[in-house]
């Protein structure tokens, strides 16, 4: 079983993850991990924090001479902003807590409920961990997962489907590395212009925007996942992974909610057979998952991100301690982080795919996993004919 545990606060020393169960012998491309981290920091509408941080991953354990060695892999991302918060966020007694105490909870954030649940008087103790800054280390973990999947020809792409009221017409032929040099990671150039304008308007009014992002996974063979147990169903695991991302409030696979609005004749993928090719589909309405298992088509997952709850024109709130009416606390924020969310979701999906992939083909080293994988492909090819 492959798993990881991560920790860290938004303005703490850094973010760290310990990954257990990766097979030995996997080449680790640290530059590819850092490219994912850079893409997470990109996109039109990002705020001041992105000007401070330049995220780079440090591999502390589990990798030698560029390859995993079978022991736990430890990743760390240092927070450059720690230099400005060292006294405030110090773990030692006597931290300068009063300098940045937060008592006005932000609507839509974890502040109020978390303060009550964990019995904190200073809501900073909540927002530091609930912050989307935490997603940086999850991107690093997911990027490492992509590194593993790439050994088997599996590739993941993410792109923006909508921002605010602007809806794009996706062009799947343009899912490539060049996409991430564009302002909003959108394959529709006309929609891109409208998205930028809507973000700029929201920023001028101290407001924020959400949107919908999509992840496409190519190269997975059929049979990843299972219908047998609820907690191993791949579509359920993907939904949990997406919904665990800060500010995500919805998830769809394939047609998603649209499938509930059409008759069955327009909701399912008919099965065909051709000698030499085997069984195949002409459509992919199910998004590559049937019966909670991959069916050989691209896996397509969408996630809906709400607008960020930290507004420069803050919403009404009430003081946690005095109950006096006021305006919610303001931390550094983005007018729109939807493009960044696409990268976060891509890597969250990558990790989840890797879990099920290694559950199916797992071994203690890369060569063993490849033998298991190739043997299965030979079996599937024989059955398909």
Q: What is the mean pLDDT of the chain?
A: 95
DSSP state of 42: -
pLDDT confidence tier of residue 313, bands split at 50, 70 and 90:
confident
| Between 380 and 333, the higher pLDDT residue | 380
Flag whether pLDDT at 178 surpasses 90: yes
Mean pLDDT to the nearest integer, 147-160 = 98
**Span 221-276, pLDDT tens digits:** 999 999 999 999 999 999 999 999 999 999 999 999 999 999 999 999 999 999 98
Upper half-sphere CA count for residue 359 (Cβ side, 13 Å) = 16
Flag whether pLDDT at 330 surpasses 90: no
Are the C-beta atoms of residues 10 and 131 closer than 8 Å to each other?
Answer: yes
The CA distance from 68 to 253, in Å, is: 33
Q: CA Rg, the chain, in Å?
A: 22
Mean pLDDT to the nearest integer, 286-304 = 97
The CA distance from 347 to 344, in Å, is: 5
The CA distance from 34 to 31, in Å, is: 5
Handedness of CA 131, 133, 136, 137 (dihedral sign): negative
**pLDDT at site 253:** 98
Report residue 364: phi and psi, to 5°: -85, -15
**pLDDT at site 134:** 96
Domain count, the chain: 1
pLDDT confidence tier of residue 385, bands split at 50, 70 and 90:
confident
Flag whether pLDDT at 50 surpasses 90: no
The CA distance from 144 to 58, in Å, is: 12
Are the C-beta atoms of residues 316 and 228 closer than 8 Å to each other?
Answer: no
pLDDT confidence tier of residue 333, bands split at 50, 70 and 90:
confident
The CA distance from 347 to 363, in Å, is: 22
Are the C-beta atoms of residues 345 and 39 closer than 8 Å to each other?
Answer: no
Count other C-beta atoms under 10 Å from residue 314's C-beta. Answer: 18
The CA distance from 110 to 341, in Å, is: 18
**CATH number of the domain encompassing residue 286:** 3.60.150.10
pLDDT confidence tier of residue 49, bands split at 50, 70 and 90:
low
**Span 81-124, pLDDT tens digits:** 999 999 999 999 999 999 999 999 999 999 999 999 999 999 99
128 token code pair: 């530091």
Flag whether pLDDT at 156 surpasses 60: yes
User: Three-class SS of residue 36?
Assistant: helix
Please enumerate in sequence order all residues whose Cβ is within 8 A of that of 294, keeping only pairs 6 or more positions apart, or say none: 220, 221, 222, 223, 224, 225, 234, 288
Flag whether pLDDT at 177 surpasses 90: yes
Find, among 144, 132, 138, the residue nearest to 33 by Cα. Answer: 144
H or E segment to which residue 63 belongs: strand 63-64
Continuous H helices in the chain: 30-40, 49-52, 82-85, 111-118, 124-130, 135-150, 189-204, 234-243, 338-361, 366-384
Mean pLDDT to the nearest integer, 126-146 = 96
pLDDT confidence tier of residue 314, bands split at 50, 70 and 90:
confident
**pLDDT at site 51:** 62
The CA distance from 361 to 356, in Å, is: 9
| pTM of the shown model | 0.95
Are the C-beta atoms of residues 82 and 133 closer than 8 Å to each other?
Answer: no
Mean pLDDT to the nearest integer, 366-372 = 98
The CA distance from 310 to 341, in Å, is: 16
Mean pLDDT to the nearest integer, 276-282 = 92
pLDDT confidence tier of residue 167, bands split at 50, 70 and 90:
very high
CA dihedral 112→248→354→66, nearest 10 degrees, is -70
Place of tokens 């195949």: 280
Mean pLDDT to the nearest integer, 162-168 = 97
**Span 12-28, pLDDT tens digits:** 999 999 999 999 999 99
Q: Is 126 exposed, middle or buried (0-12, 13-18, 19+ CB in 10 A)?
A: buried
Mean pLDDT to the nearest integer, 50-57 = 79
Instruction: Please state the separation of Cα 275 from the chain's center in Å.
Output: 39
The CA distance from 180 to 339, in Å, is: 9
Mean pLDDT to the nearest integer, 322-334 = 85
Which range of residues forms the domain containing residue 143? 3-384
Find, among 307, 339, 308, 313, the residue nearest to 327 by Cα. Answer: 313
pLDDT confidence tier of residue 142, bands split at 50, 70 and 90:
very high
**pLDDT at site 77:** 97
% residues pLDDT > 90 (the chain): 91
Flag whether pLDDT at 66 surpasses 60: yes
In terms of phi and psi (left: phi > 0; alpha: psi -120 to 50; beta: otherwise), the region of 45 is left
Q: C-alpha angle with apex 213: 208 to 214, nearest 5 degrees?
A: 180
Are the C-beta atoms of residues 158 and 345 closer than 8 Å to each other?
Answer: yes
Find, among 213, 216, 380, the residue nearest to 288 by Cα. Answer: 216
């Amino acid at each position: 079983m492959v798993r990881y545990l991560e920790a860290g606060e938004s303005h703490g020393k850094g973010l760290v993850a310990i990954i257990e169960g990766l097979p030995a012998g996997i080449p680790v491309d640290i530059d590819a991990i850092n490219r994912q981290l850079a893409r997470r920091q990109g996109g039109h509408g990002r705020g001041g924090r992105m000007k401070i941080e330049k995220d780079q991953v440090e591999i502390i354990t589990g990798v030698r001479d560029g390859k995993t060695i079978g022991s736990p892999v430890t990743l760390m991302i240092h927070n450059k902003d720690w230099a400005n918060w060292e006294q405030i966020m110090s773990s030692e007694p006597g931290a300068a807590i009063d300098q940045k105490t937060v008592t006005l909870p932000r609507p839509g954030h974890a502040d109020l409920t978390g303060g009550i649940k964990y019995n904190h008087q200073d809501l900073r103790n909540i927002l530091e961990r609930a912050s989307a800054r935490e997603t940086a280390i999850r991107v690093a973990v997911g990027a490492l997962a992509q590194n593993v999947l790439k050994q088997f020809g599996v590739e993941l792409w993410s792109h923006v489907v909508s921002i605010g009221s602007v809806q794009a017409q996706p062009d799947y032929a343009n899912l490539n590395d060049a996409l991430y040099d564009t302002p909003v990671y959108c394959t529709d150039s006309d929609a891109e212009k409208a998205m930028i304008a809507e973000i700029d308007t929201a920023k001028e009014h101290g407001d924020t925007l959400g949107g919908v992002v999509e992840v496409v996974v190519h190269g997975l063979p059929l049979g990843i996942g299972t219908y047998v147990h609820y907690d191993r169903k791949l579509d359920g695991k993907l939904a949990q992974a997406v919904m665990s991302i800060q500010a995500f409030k919805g998830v769809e696979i394939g047609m998603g909610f649209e499938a509930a609005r059409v008759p069955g004749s327009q909701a399912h993928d008919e099965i065909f057979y051709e000698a030499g090719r085997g069984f195949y589909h002409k459509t992919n309405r199910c998004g590559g998952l049937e019966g909670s298992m991959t069916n050989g088509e691209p896996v397509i997952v969408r996630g809906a991100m709400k607008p960020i709850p930290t507004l420069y024109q803050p919403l009404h709130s009430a003081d946690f301690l005095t109950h006096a009416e006021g305006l919610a606390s303001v931390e550094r924020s983005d007018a729109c982080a939807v493009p960044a969310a696409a990268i976060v979701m891509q890597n969250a999906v990558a990790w989840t795919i890797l879990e099920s992939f290694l559950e199916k083909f797992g071994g203690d080293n890369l060569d063993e996993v490849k033998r298991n994988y190739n043997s299965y492909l030979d079996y599937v090819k024989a059955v398909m004919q």
